[in-house]
Structures are given as C-alpha cells and as structure tokens.
Amino acid sequence: MESKDGLRHPGWETDKIKLSSRLIRKGGRGVFYFLSLPFHMRCGKIGKNFLISPGYSLWKCNLQNVTIGDNVSIGYRACIMTIPLGLNSKPTIDIGDNCNIGNDLKMGAAKRIFIGKNCLISYDVSIIDHNHAFENINIPPLLQGIDKPAEIRIGDDCFLGAHSFILKGVSLGKHCVVGANSVVTSSFPDFTIVAGVPARKIRSLK
Ligand SMILES: CC(C)(COP(=O)(O)OP(=O)(O)OC[C@H]1O[C@@H](n2cnc3c(N)ncnc32)[C@H](O)[C@@H]1OP(=O)(O)O)[C@@H](O)C(=O)NCCC(=O)NCCS
C-alpha cells in the first residue's frame, strides 16, 4: 500500500498474500467441489459448505438416505454406505452440522447411524452398526449375511480419537471423548471420557 510519503508499507504485501491465499483456497475448494460431484449426485441430502476430499468410495457404496448437515468436512478416502437388508429396510445415516471428519472414515449403516452437531471425528475411525452373522459352523460367515443391526448414536460435540471403532448399538451422550485406538462396545452418558479395548470410563467432565 503506497502512502502519502511515497513509501510502500508492509500492509501492501500482507494484502497481496491474503488475496492470493484466498484465491488459492477458493480455487482449491472449487476443484474439490468438482471432484466431489459424483458423491453429491448419489447422496440423499447435503447441506451448505460441504467438503469431501478425493478418494471416497462409490464402488459398492450406497449413499441413499444419507443426510449431511451444513459446514461438514470429510477427509480423504471416506467410505460411507447404507446397506438395505430387504425391501422394507431403510437404513439411514445422519451427520449433523459443523462436523469435522478426518481421513479414512468407514461408516456403514444397516439400520441407523446418527452423528450430532459439532463432532470431531479423527482419522481412521470406523462406525459400523452391524456385524456379519457367524453362528452356523457349517456356513462360512461370508455367506451368512448380516446379523441384526442396532442403531449407533453419537451426541453433539463428541470427539472420537484416531483409529477408534464404534460398534453396533452404542450410544454416546453429549461431549463424550473416545481415546485413540479404542473399541467402544457399550454406551456412555454425557461428558464421559472413555478409552481402551473394550472402552471403559476414564473420568467424567462433570
Ligand atoms: C482419551 C484421552 C483424551 C485421555 O486424555 P486424558 O483425560 O488427559 O487422560 P490421561 O492421559 O490422564 O490418562 C488417563 C488414563 O487413561 C489411559 N489412557 C489414555 N488414553 C488412552 C487410550 N487412548 N487408550 C487406552 N488408555 C488410555 C492412561 O494410560 C491413563 O491410565 P492410568 O490412569 O491407568 O495411568 C487421550 O489419551 C486420547 O486418546 N486422545 C485422542 C488422541 C487422538 O486421537 N488424537 C488425534 C487428534 S485429531
């Protein structure tokens, strides 16, 4: 910026940097948006400012009845799918507003997965509401189909640590924290910090 004294003041450079980084950010978003068009076209409903990084799976991934709120971002190589188990089955996935999800998410719903608002889901997290049936020893689990699915519910403001696995039927209350590498097999109330395999309560924030 040139001032009355004819000198260039640092503000000029700063404005230039700000402008170019804004253009790069906008351009980047545009490219990402373009690359995510197939996801948009297959997904049930998507809110404003949605961003999903490249590498997401479409092959074998049904995105029917997947609803994503406003300002959600999802990292690279996400695999999100609903798995209908018959004509009357209507599995759903709901991801709330302002959720930030890291790379390599695996999310599969044969019944229902509900993620509240403002959740931070770190990288390599799996949220799967079903299991393969395996009880019949005469048939490989591969051919036994899917066991009875059970809804997963993650409350608002939760933080799921890296590499955590949320199993079927789990319900986490508001503002829960799941430690890195944990396998969550049971439900916990609001403000609970859990960790381990299987995940146990470490402490409560209230
Ligand atoms: C779970 C977590 C939030 C706990 O933090 P904290 O409340 O400060 O807990 P502390 O470090 O005081 O540990 C308390 C106890 O839990 C244990 N613990 C902590 N994290 C654990 C984990 N991930 N798995 C198993 N045990 C864990 C500690 O060993 C300690 O056990 P002790 O009392 O027997 O010594 C944290 O350890 C964690 O895993 N954060 C997630 C990290 C992550 O995923 N980062 C990616 C960012 S995008």
Give the pLDDT confidence score for residue 37 in this predicted structure. 85
Task: Say yes or no to pLDDT of 70 above 70.
Answer: yes
d(CA 113, CA 170): 10
Query: Which of the pair, 17 or 84, is modelled with greater confidence?
Result: 84
What is the arithmetic mean of pLDDT over 51-74?
91
Q: Is the CB of 205 under 6 A from ligand 1?
A: no
Q: Are residues 29 and 72 in the same domain?
A: no
Q: Is the CB of 125 under 6 A from ligand 1?
A: no
Give the pLDDT confidence score for residue 34 in this predicted structure. 83
Q: Are residues 109 and 130 in the same domain?
A: yes
CA-based torsion, 109, 114, 117, 119: positive or negative? negative
d(CA 189, CA 50): 29
Per the structure block, which two tokens stand in for 155? 């409350």
Q: Are residues 17 and 83 in the same domain?
A: no
Q: Are residues 22 and 112 in the same domain?
A: no
Per DSSP, 139 falls in state S
Q: Are residues 184 and 162 in the same domain?
A: yes
d(CA 82, CA 67): 11
What is the arithmetic mean of pLDDT over 55-74?
91
Domain with 22 in it: 1-35
Of 55, 51, 57, 63, residue with least CA distance to 25:
51
Q: What is the pLDDT of residues 133-147, one digit of tens each?
A: 999 999 999 999 999
- Dump strand ranges (E) for 120-188: 120-121, 126-128, 152-154, 159-160, 165-166, 171-172, 177-178, 183-184
Q: Are residues 11 and 110 in the same domain?
A: no
Nearest CA to ligand 1 atom 20: 179
pLDDT-based confidence at residue 2 (cuts at 50, 70, 90) = low
Query: 175 alpha carbon to ligand 1 midpoint, in Å?
Result: 16
Q: Is the CB of 180 under 6 A from ligand 1?
A: yes
Lowest mean pLDDT among 57-61, 166-170, 200-204: 57-61
Determine the atom of ligand 1 nearest the C-alpha atom of 120: 48
Query: Which of the pair, 9 or 122, is modelled with greater confidence?
Result: 122
Q: What is the pLDDT of residues 11-42, one digit of tens each?
A: 656 776 777 777 776 677 778 788 888 888 88
d(CA 103, CA 92): 21
Q: Are residues 153 and 66 in the same domain?
A: yes
Q: Are residues 16 and 114 in the same domain?
A: no
CATH of residue 141's domain is: 2.160.10.10
Q: Please answer whether residues 157 and 137 qualify as being in contact, where contact means their C-beta atoms are separated by less than 8 angstroms.
A: no
Q: Are residues 112 and 20 in the same domain?
A: no
Residues paired with residue 188 on neighbouring β-strands, in sequence order: 172
Lowest mean pLDDT among 44-48, 73-77, 112-116, 173-177: 44-48
Of 142, 95, 140, 144, residue with least CA distance to 120:
95
Instruction: State the pTM of this model.
Output: 0.88
Lowest mean pLDDT among 61-70, 92-101, 115-124, 160-169: 61-70
21: CB partners within 8 A, 6+ apart = none
d(CA 140, CA 148): 17
d(CA 185, CA 200): 9
Query: 164 alpha carbon to ligand 1 midpoint, in Å?
Result: 12
Query: 183 alpha carbon to ligand 1 midpoint, in Å?
Result: 13
The number of folded domains in the chain is: 2
Give the pLDDT confidence score for residue 12 in this predicted structure. 59
d(CA 111, CA 150): 6
The distance from CA 18 to its chain's CA centroid, rounded to whole angstroms, is: 30
Q: Are residues 68 and 146 in the same domain?
A: yes
Determine the atom of ligand 1 nearest the C-alpha atom of 162: 44
Q: Are residues 85 and 122 in the same domain?
A: yes
Q: Are residues 75 and 159 in the same domain?
A: yes
Give the pLDDT confidence score for residue 190 in this predicted structure. 98
Task: Say yes or no to pLDDT of 188 above 60.
Answer: yes
Nearest CA to ligand 1 atom 35: 202
